[in-house]
Chains A and B, each alone.
Chain A
């Protein structure tokens, strides 16, 4: 049998190629371009090979920012995922209560990032903020502007407040998709509340949780606006995450070459970690 070549099909996939090219490949290639050259002006450039990458990889400030970033992302995942599941389990399922709970839970999600930062900036102040005043009442000398630990915890708290609702809503929708008969069957089996959660609800939530973990990881790994508004990366470098470092380098110091190399490394780290998460969860499911 002879194979019939039909090149017309290429025209059909053309639009997708074009969209992907303009939305992802061309911008990314620009960054690649900067990362391997030293560019002074549009006519003066030198190819430097992997030099910027070497510089970035050995930069201890970036190492610190990376470690800080990982600790931060894992902390908020460890808090937001269980908390989100718990909130979803406690939300009412029927009647007016259900709509009311949905609206209340969704409110933080509707607030823009920089506004969240501003809200907490005021909220956390001891003189005019409710949270700051409360901490002062409790006898804690809370000051996010001067205490590194306080600043870090405030950013974590802010993120938990802002994004746990997303996990809760995802889980809530997952829970609603479980047919009522499963719960009935469990009651007939005399299964405990824990067993219902462990053997019915959790397995049925796996898919939405994968999405939840990935989204929350990616977003938190790229966090920029909130700490920028709240603390500007300080005090010291306590809330200087990867994005802050990158911006300081690219815009603050105008070191475009290293900044571009750093962007690529940053992108690859996120890609790698997401891939690890995804395959781990998928394998866990298969083994069970």
Chain B
């Protein structure tokens, strides 16, 4: 089963919600749609599902044009951010509902319902009503409803947002495992870069209705095509510092210099914007090439066992992603180490021209 979108656009009341998207999803693939709120993730999913018709473009399934085919005649499932179940049916009947509508035999329905419920570990709650379950179990029921029929496409629209942190991690891992054995196309929308990384598979980065980049998740992460993709696909967003490359050295804002190393030597002299991941800047030098920068602390944001340290020097702001809890005063003077061999370079129009070699790790 393959799903292809050809030049798909959707315009609502003169506003472009989806702008000329081309996307081809392979059978058996797990695809993450990554983008901020209002980037068009849900709209794109509704188009894939056939809930809405694209204003322009074509949607093909297995090479057959299904653009005008309504959702009732397609074979898809969808799981939502809200826990959508039939309120006055038991968990069993909820899971069985799509099979009953497909006029399957009772023994077959029973077998499938129990199998799916077991897979999602809700088999001991089959007689309960959805509202008697916890949020996580309600969402598992909704997922079981989506998985019980052999859909060609299963769409997940931020399914874990309304769950607490622990449950989210647990369900995410299970979800990924569930799809390993399936031959359907899974599409999963999320706003969180970390979720996309955890789910692996493929990632499509959406921004303001445009598809910025689509590819293997690790590839998109390590080689973002442009600055916006790089910013979207890292949490905290990648640091961007304007700089200048000459024959021999790199200058950031006229003040910070370092020798042009082997990594950056292929760059033509000129103006660039350099990206450096928040986790690559350290408090201690990690290699001889690291550039020492005196900075002033703005804010130390402690989140769990990690610290986001916001600092600035007279010319630019930086964010550091440190493991462990670090406390600093505001305006405290510290030194940070800038990894000159882990720089991304973007040209003036924002396209990636150089990514650090030896990819891997963060």
Q: Which residues of A contact B (CB under 8 A)?
A: 179, 181-182, 184-185, 187-191, 195, 199-200, 203-204, 285, 288
Q: A190 to B97: give the CA distance in the assembly, Å.
A: 10
Interface centre among A184, A191, A200, A204 (most CB of B within 10 A): A184
Contact B97 A182 (CB under 8 A): no
Contact B84 A191 (CB under 8 A): no
Q: Interface on chain A toward B: helix, strand, loop, or mixed SS?
A: helix
- A127 CB to closest chain B CB, in angstroms? 53
User: What 5 pairs between A and B have smallest CB-CB spacing?
Assistant: A203-B88, A288-B88, A203-B87, A199-B86, A185-B84
* B residues less than 8 Å from A288 (CB atoms): 88, 129
Contact A199 B89 (CB under 8 A): yes
Residue of B nearest to A200 (CB): B86
Contact B87 A181 (CB under 8 A): no
Contact of B51 among A184, A190, A200 (CB under 8 A): A184
Q: A188 to B71: give the CA distance in the assembly, Å.
A: 6
Q: A191 to B149: give the CA distance in the assembly, Å.
A: 14
Binary contact track B76-95/A, C-beta < 8 Å → 1, others 0:
11101010101111000000
Contact B51 A189 (CB under 8 A): no
Interface centre among A185, A188, A190 (most CB of B within 10 A): A188
- A137 CB to closest chain B CB, in angstroms? 47
Contact of B101 with A by CB under 8 A: yes
* A residues less than 8 Å from B102 (CB atoms): 190
Q: A187 to B71: give the CA distance in the assembly, Å.
A: 7
Q: A169 to B88: give the CA distance in the assembly, Å.
A: 23
Contact A188 B129 (CB under 8 A): no
Interface centre among A190, A203, A204 (most CB of B within 10 A): A190
Residue of A nearest to B89 (CB): A199
Q: Which residues of B contact A (CB under 8 A)?
A: 46, 49, 51, 71-72, 76-78, 80, 82, 84, 86-89, 97-98, 101-102, 129, 145
Q: A191 to B88: give the CA distance in the assembly, Å.
A: 15
Contact of A190 among B87, B101, B129 (CB under 8 A): B101
Q: Can you list 10 A-B pairs with a CB-CB distance of less than 8 A? A: A181-B82, A184-B46, A185-B78, A188-B49, A188-B51, A189-B98, A190-B101, A191-B101, A203-B87, A203-B88
Residue of A nearest to B86 (CB): A199
Q: A58 to B80: give the CA distance in the assembly, Å.
A: 63
* B residues less than 8 Å from A200 (CB atoms): 86-87
Q: A182 to B46: give the CA distance in the assembly, Å.
A: 14
* B residues less than 8 Å from A185 (CB atoms): 78, 80, 84
Q: A28 to B80: give the CA distance in the assembly, Å.
A: 54
Residue of B nearest to A284 (CB): B88
Contact A179 B51 (CB under 8 A): no
- A96 CB to closest chain B CB, in angstroms? 16
- A200 CB to closest chain B CB, in angstroms? 7
Known: A189-B101, A288-B129. A184 touches B78 (CB 8 A): yes
Interface centre among A189, A199, A203, A285 (most CB of B within 10 A): A189
* B residues less than 8 Å from A191 (CB atoms): 97, 101
Q: A71 to B71: give the CA distance in the assembly, Å.
A: 47
Contact of B97 among A181, A189, A203, A285 (CB under 8 A): A189
Known: A199-B89, A203-B87. A187 touches B82 (CB 8 A): no
* A residues less than 8 Å from B84 (CB atoms): 179, 181-182, 185
Contact of A187 among B51, B88, B89 (CB under 8 A): B51
Interface centre among B77, B88, B89, B145 (most CB of A within 10 A): B88
Q: A256 to B296: give the CA distance in the assembly, Å.
A: 90
- A221 CB to closest chain B CB, in angstroms? 29
Contact A188 B78 (CB under 8 A): yes
Known: A184-B78, A185-B78. A190 touches B86 (CB 8 A): no
* A residues less than 8 Å from B129 (CB atoms): 288
Contact B88 A199 (CB under 8 A): yes
Q: A188 to B51: give the CA distance in the assembly, Å.
A: 8
Contact B101 A179 (CB under 8 A): no
Q: A187 to B101: give the CA distance in the assembly, Å.
A: 12
- B217 CB to closest chain A CB, in angstroms? 27
